[in-house]
Structure 1
Amino acid sequence: MQTVLTAKLKLNTTPEQFKALRTTQLAYRDSLNYVSQYAFAHGKMSNAVRLQDATYEEIRLRFHLPSQMACSVPRQVGASYKTLWTKVKNNAVHRKEGKTKKRYKGLDKAPKFISPTLTYQYKKDYTFKKEQQVSILTLEGRVIVPYTGYNKHVALIQRGAEIGASKLWYDKPKKQFYLLVSLEIETADPTPETHKQVAGVDVGMRYLAVTATMQGDCTFHSGKQIVPKANHYARLRKRLQKKGTRSATRRLVAISGRERRLKQNTNHVVSKRIVLQHPQSLIGLEHLTDIRERTKRRKGKNAKQRKANRTFSKWSFAELHSMIAYKALLHRSMAIKVDANSTSQACPKCGHTCKENRPNKGLLFVCQNCQYTLHADLVGARNIAMRTLLIRQDWRGTGLLSVRAFCVGR
């Protein structure tokens, strides 16, 4: 099985190399915006081949991009428009079903690319050299830059990992360039015999993750120390955006990314703990697609309604799931998605399901049928573990993963 990792390499540039990379980045961003305007003016086009045929020569002439970069630009714009079209179609379905009244406005005007991050193709735009050096293409030709990074990632690059495309990312506050390299490594193919243990993971705001096994073991990963900090950054950002002065804008730039890095670091820590606690296990995760639409509060006063909806959107659970998935593969485990419907309302003892099992939607679960009482988040984790166990039994009997589940990160 192939597992994809991203290696973050710090580029130690000279002033001349820094200037060349920065100029290339900005030219790439300007070409993205040019192609985006062209696609919008010609029927919001998402076909990358047609975009390349129509804009390739102009990109080379106006922005002086090398040939491979000039091909990457229309592909990136086309992919962005495809994503927006998918959101428009999904929004139309949700409006028809009464899940939302808002119309998605992502295609009302041409998408504008603000980040100067550019894409490099391996062996065409960049190659690795000996002694931890990388050759990178710029508008002025190739530059050879020394790099540093996480020792294990550097070892994978030097010892034959399959290298894919990379992104040149600029950290503006630190004025530092990083190369984000995609690596594919081979991991052992999972089998029911190698994944004898089963664990379920329930995510939430009070506890970022609660894990449970079929042996009765459980672990609570609290967000008590982290979530208030994230909320503080969100409130601060909101006040500064509302103020809108030049000093407020400078302050926004200074704190930009802090909330994101806080969440990312916390998700890394929690996912690593979960994976290390459950080696060689089949780890069940909730299938949370369209979670915002499905949990959206539509009743009550506007202020309370907006506050409740913000609460459900404060944490990046998809990022936490993806981290658990790829780390599990590296530790001979595997994560799968299971049905998340009524995991916190179904009794794990008798199976009775109703909203009244969670009085006032609190932390206490009380089954109205058999009076089984337990922590509500732990009930959710146990239900996920049992659904994962059923999938493992089907897998063991048929040799194939059930259609009710799919492997994450494959």
Structure 2
Amino acid sequence: MQTVLTAKLKLNTTPEQFKALRTTQLAYRDSLNYVSQYAFAHGKMSNAVRLQDATYEEIRLRFHLPSQMACSVPRQVGASYKTLWTKVKNNAVHRKEGKTKKRYKGLDKAPKFISPTLTYQYKKDYTFKKEQQVSILTLEGRVIVPYTGYNKHVALIQRGAEIGASKLWYDKPKKQFYLLVSLEIETADPTPETHKQVAGVDVGMRYLAVTATMQGDCTFHSGKQIVPKANHSARLRKRLQKKGTRSATRRLVAISGRERRLKQNTNHVVSKRIVQQHPQSLIGLEHLTDIRERTKRRKGKNAKQRKANRTFSKWSFAELHSMIAYKALLHRSMAIKVDANSTSQACPKCGHTCKENRPNKGLLFVCQNCQYTLHADLVGARNIAMRTLLIRQDWRGTGLLSVRAFCVG
């Protein structure tokens, strides 16, 4: 079974190499916006082959990109338009079913590419050399740059991991280039015999994650110290954006990414603890797709509605799920999606389900049928664990998983 990792390599460039990479990045971004405008003007085209046939020569002449980069640009733009068309179609279905009244506006104008992140193809645009060096293509030809990175990732690159495409990312506040390299490593194929244990993971704001097993073990991963810091960064960013002065803009640049890095680091720590506590297990995660559409929110365009909307978007739970998924494979476990419907309202003892089981939507769960009482988040984790156990039983009996396992890539 193939598992995809991303290795973050720091490029130690000279001033001349730095200038060459930056010029190439900006030219690549300008070509993306040119192709995006062309696609929008010609029926919001998403076919990468047609886009390449129509824009390849102009990209080479106007932006002087090498041939492989000139081929990558239409593919990237076409993929972006396909994603937007999917969102438009899904929004139309949701509006028809009455799940939302808002119309998706992502294709009302041509998408604009702001980030200068550049895509490289392995063995065509970049290759690895000996002594931790990488050869990278620029507008002025190839440059050979030394790199450093996480020791385990560097070892995988040097010892035969399957290397894929990479992205040249520029950290503007630090004025530093990084190469984000896709690596594929081989992991053992999961079977019911190798995954004898099950665990359920419930996510939330009071506790970022709560885990439970069928043996009664449980773990609480609190967000008490982290979430207020993230909220403070969000409030600070909002005030600076509202002020709009030059000094406020400089301050925004200085603190840009701080909130994102804090959340990402916390998710890494929490996901690592979870998978280390449950080796060779089947880990159940809630299926949170379209959770915003399925969750009731306040009506009207007022401060209360905006506050409620922010509450649903405070933490990147999808990122936490994806980290648990790929780290689980590295620890000989596997993460799967289970139905998230009423996990915190269903009694794990008698099965009675109603909103009144959680008085005032608080931390205490009290079953109105059998009076079973427990921490509400732990009830959610136990329900997820039981649903995961049912999936494992079906897997053992039929040889097929009844739900799709996470595919990280």
TM range (shorter): over 0.9
Relative to structure 1, the CA distance from residue 408 to residue 213 in structure 2 (aligned partners, 3 Å threshold; closer, same or farther) is farther
Q: How far off is 1:366 after superposition?
A: 0.5
Relative to structure 1, the CA distance from residue 166 to residue 346 in structure 2 (aligned partners, 3 Å threshold; closer, same or farther) is same
CA contact (8 A) 2:363 2:376 kept: yes
State the Cα RMSD in Å: 1.2
Residues in 2 aligned to 1:123 and 1:6: alpha-carbon distance in whole angstroms: 17
Relative to structure 1, the CA distance from residue 64 to residue 331 in structure 2 (aligned partners, 3 Å threshold; closer, same or farther) is same
Q: How far off is 1:298 after superposition?
A: 3.2
SS where residue 102 of structure 1 aligns?
coil
Relative to structure 1, the CA distance from residue 214 to residue 266 in structure 2 (aligned partners, 3 Å threshold; closer, same or farther) is same
CA contact (8 A) 1:335 1:407 kept: no
- % identical aligned pairs: 100
Q: How far off is 1:302 after superposition?
A: 2.6
Residues in 2 aligned to 1:274 and 1:135: alpha-carbon distance in whole angstroms: 38
Residue equivalent to 1:233? 233
Count of paired positions = 409
Q: Tell me the alpha carbon deviations over residues 373-397 of structure 1, each in whole angstroms, 9 at most, x when there is no partner.
A: 0000000000000000000011111
* TM-score of the superposed pair, with normalisation by structure 1: 0.98
Residues in 2 aligned to 1:300 and 1:210: alpha-carbon distance in whole angstroms: 33
Residues in 1 aligned to 2:119 and 2:232: alpha-carbon distance in whole angstroms: 34
Residues in 1 aligned to 2:64 and 2:303: alpha-carbon distance in whole angstroms: 51
Q: Tell me the alpha carbon deviations over residues 207-232 of structure 1, each in whole angstroms, 9 at most, x when there is no partner.
A: 00000000000000000000001111
CA contact (8 A) 1:337 1:407 kept: no
Relative to structure 1, the CA distance from residue 253 to residue 235 in structure 2 (aligned partners, 3 Å threshold; closer, same or farther) is same
Q: Tell me the alpha carbon deviations over residues 109-164 of structure 1, each in whole angstroms, 9 at most, x when there is no partner.
A: 11110000000000000000111110000000000111110010000000000000
Residues in 2 aligned to 1:260 and 1:407: alpha-carbon distance in whole angstroms: 23
Q: Gaps spanning 5+ residues in structure 2: where? A: none
CA contact (8 A) 2:240 2:249 kept: yes
Q: How far off is 1:192 after superposition?
A: 0.7
Residue equivalent to 2:57? 57
Relative to structure 1, the CA distance from residue 405 to residue 131 in structure 2 (aligned partners, 3 Å threshold; closer, same or farther) is closer
CA contact (8 A) 2:336 2:404 kept: no
SS where residue 147 of structure 2 aligns?
strand
Q: Gaps spanning 5+ residues in structure 1: where? A: none
Residues in 1 aligned to 2:364 and 2:69: alpha-carbon distance in whole angstroms: 56
Residues in 2 aligned to 1:290 and 1:178: alpha-carbon distance in whole angstroms: 33
CA contact (8 A) 2:337 2:403 kept: no
CA contact (8 A) 1:161 1:183 kept: yes
Q: Tell me the alpha carbon deviations over residues 65-116 of structure 1, each in whole angstroms, 9 at most, x when there is no partner.
A: 0000000000000011111111111111122222222211111111110000
Residue equivalent to 1:355? 355
CA contact (8 A) 1:337 1:408 kept: no
Residues in 2 aligned to 1:407 and 1:246: alpha-carbon distance in whole angstroms: 44
CA contact (8 A) 2:335 2:405 kept: no
Residue equivalent to 1:282? 282
Residues in 1 aligned to 2:240 and 2:125: alpha-carbon distance in whole angstroms: 40
Residues in 2 aligned to 1:326 and 1:236: alpha-carbon distance in whole angstroms: 33
Please say if 1:365 is aligned against 2:365. Answer: yes
Q: How far off is 1:296 after superposition?
A: 4.1
Q: How far off is 1:403 after superposition?
A: 4.1
Q: How far off is 1:247 after superposition?
A: 1.5
Q: How far off is 1:295 after superposition?
A: 1.8
Moved more, 327-336 or 90-99: 90-99
Relative to structure 1, the CA distance from residue 25 to residue 405 in structure 2 (aligned partners, 3 Å threshold; closer, same or farther) is closer
Q: How far off is 1:305 after superposition?
A: 2.1
Relative to structure 1, the CA distance from residue 63 to residue 406 in structure 2 (aligned partners, 3 Å threshold; closer, same or farther) is closer
Q: Tell me the alpha carbon deviations over residues 337-359 of structure 1, each in whole angstroms, 9 at most, x when there is no partner.
A: 00000100000000011111111
Residues in 2 aligned to 1:354 and 1:68: alpha-carbon distance in whole angstroms: 58
Q: How far off is 1:293 after superposition?
A: 1.4
